[in-house]
Amino acid sequence: MDFPVSAFPHLTALATTKNIEYAEAVQGKVQGEVPNWLNGSWYRNGPGVVHFREESVKHWFDGMALARKFCIEDGKVSYMSRLVDGESLQKNTAAGRVVVAEFGTTTHSEGFLGRVKSALTMPEFTDNCLINFMNLGDHLFAITESNFIRQIDPVTLDTKDKVDLAKHLPINIMSSHPLVDGEGNVYTFSSSIFNMGRTKYNLLKFTAAAPGTPLETILSQSESICSIDSSWRVSPSYHHSFAMSEKYAVFVEMPLKIDIPKMAVAHLRHMCYSDCIEVLEDTKTRIYLVNKETGKQHPITFLCDPLIVYHHVNAYDDGDHVVLDLSCYKKNSFYDKFTMSNLEKTPQEFSKLFDSDEQAVKAMRIVLPLANDSKTTGNLVSVANTSCTAEFQGNNIFCTSEMLSVGTECAVINNKYIGKKYKYFYSPGGLKLPPGEMLTKIDVETKQRVQTWQEKGCWASQPVFVAKPGATQEDEGILMSSVVNENGNPFLLMLDAKSFTEVARIHFDANIPPDVHGVFVPKA
């Protein structure tokens, strides 16, 4: 098997000898032609510092957040980046090691007094907001999976205030993939631990806000519109993302449980938070629907075989059904792919560790019928072009799935089709290697890979689709990806999303490391 790179750029680009911050914009050299209608800022987030003076993090997702921005205007493109200057970065840098607990890296108290302090206090939660960005009105935030978010200046990328969302909403853990509906309302799910006697999943809504609306006004108008009891009294399921159709928000309670009692004492036992996540291999996955307008939970719980989901693709209403597409694993291999010890391996060595079918990511479809009469027998699915089934088992409905594609993680779609019936999604790969070895276009109707971009020596970020103004077809627009090139300068790749023909690549005299997620903000 031929591999695109000789070493993973997740680590080579973050070597201590490499510069990662560019406070002054670096102008790109355009090869090709940037469409004149494409104007805006693409904000990307991800690890920037993984090495401290005395130790390194153990997991790539524990690296200190680096905010990046590609600014596209009048055919020109610039790049800038700044570390998110939060308390976690400041304390870790001062100590020369990790002293604020992260997801996959333990902290160690120093001496007797340090151990006494740890025994008497709860662990300090990180404000290392490295996973994604979220817009509330015209306020930009770097976010992670906790209640803490960090405001970022959209022009300079300067770090501004830390905001504790738990002061406004029931949040201990928050999905890091908020979704925006057609009216501009922002939705996400949170977990609130032992809320009124039981841990709950909460559908949160931030009402659309006009430019110039003060942040305090936006937060004061935010609300939890529905709460769902966890299957476990104290512990929640891990949830990184969710899906929503035009009518419903879809929450997947997977058998990946966060053991809260164990987490509460993790700092005393020199455990990291990932040590507190338990895979329940024999527990069925539970799927809940929430009516976004009424805030009521659908009376039927849907069940399916155990699956692990980090990223949803989309969901949409189809008659009396909700169609749900998501990227699934049978094992928790997505997290394992990003340990520092695994990323230090060659791609050849790495691929041998993730070679089984159970470790492969597959885009799967599940159809959720809205029937609520448990006396109904037989297959309840009546939508066209699917082999999915759903039948009552007692008061629940058990669903089977069908595969749309294999090796497609971190999928994105044309955002105008969020919650609507759609035809295409785009992915940076992820079969054996981490996502990034290629860019692909999947037709969910034919269940075929219809386009692929791959280049020797190149590693592509999760792409973003930007629709052409006035477009009449779903795939009419530009697909962009930040590409690390081990044979030269990194570049921003622009593809015609319909044909995958290269429109432009913009080279930068800068070090642009691999990232995680981001958001495109069109120029007003």
pLDDT along the chain (524 residues), means of 10: 92 96 98 98 99 96 98 98 97 93 76 44 75 98 97 99 97 97 98 91 98 97 98 96 99 96 81 89 97 98 97 98 98 94 97 94 98 86 97 96 98 98 98 96 98 98 98 98 95 99 99 98 93
Name the CA radius of gyration of the chain, rounded: 22
Does 240 belong to an annotated binding site?
yes
- How confident is the model at residue 121, as a pLDDT? 45
- How confident is the model at residue 124, as a pLDDT? 60
Q: Tens digits of per-residue pLDDT, 427-438?
A: 999 999 999 999
Does 168 belong to an annotated binding site?
no
- How confident is the model at residue 406, as a pLDDT? 98
Q: Tens digits of per-residue pLDDT, 305-344?
A: 999 999 999 999 999 999 999 999 999 999 999 999 999 9
- How confident is the model at residue 2, as a pLDDT? 84
Does 59 belong to an annotated binding site?
no
Q: Which residue carries 């849907």 as its tokens?
A: 302
- How confident is the model at residue 194, as a pLDDT? 83
**Rounded Cα gap, residues 461 and 457, in angstroms:** 14
Tokens of residue 274, six digits: 């990932």
Spatial neighbors of 53 by CB under 8 A, at least 6 apart, are: 96, 97
Quick check: helix, strand or coil at residue 183? Answer: coil
Tell me how crowded residue 69 is: count the other CB atoms within 10 A of its CB. 24
Tell me how far apart the 2 most distant CA atoms of the chain are, in Å. 67
- How confident is the model at residue 123, as a pLDDT? 52
- How confident is the model at residue 371, as a pLDDT? 85
What sign does the CA torsion over 330, 334, 335, 337 have?
positive
Does 311 belong to an annotated binding site?
yes
Residue 50: C-alpha distances to residues 10, 11, 144, 203, 335 (Å): 10, 8, 17, 33, 17
- How confident is the model at residue 103, as a pLDDT? 85
**Rounded Cα gap, residues 262 and 254, in angstroms:** 19
Dihedral pair phi/psi, residue 215, rounded to 5°: -60, -40
Quick check: helix, strand or coil at residue 100? Answer: coil
